[in-house]
């Protein structure tokens, strides 16, 4: 019998649940932050702030990073917002 089979299934389920809850919390927090930040900008790129927040809710940290890269980095420094 290998070590994985000896591990209690309840502990594995609890660990997976904790990871799931943590992921959901992170997605919601980042989506809320993106929406609040989009309200402070005069205009957002590609779409509105609520769509960016919805995309962040689905895509998580990766979409939040994309949002930051577009709106707060020097990629679009010379353009009016």
Cα 12–chain centre separation? 25
Which helix (H) or strand (E) segment is 14 a member of? helix 9-40
Report the chain's mean pLDDT, rounded to a whole number: 87
| 3-state DSSP assignment of residue 81 | coil
Mean pLDDT of 2-31: 87
Q: Is the pLDDT of residue 20 over 70?
A: yes
pLDDT confidence bin for 73, thresholds 50/70/90: confident
User: With the C-alpha atoms ordered 3, 4, 8, 14, is the resulting torsion angle positive or negative?
Assistant: positive
* Distance of alpha carbon 17 from alpha carbon 13, whole angstroms: 6
């Amino acid at each position: 019998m290998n070590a994985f089979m000896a591990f209690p299934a309840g502990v594995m389920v609890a660990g997976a649940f904790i990871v799931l809850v943590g992921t959901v919390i992170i997605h919601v927090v980042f989506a809320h932050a993106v929406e609040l930040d989009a309200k402070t900008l005069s205009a957002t790129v590609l779409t509105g702030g609520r769509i960016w927040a919805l995309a962040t809710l689905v895509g998580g940290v990766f979409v939040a990073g994309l949002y930051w890269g577009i709106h707060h980095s020097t990629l679009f420094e010379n353009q009016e917002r």
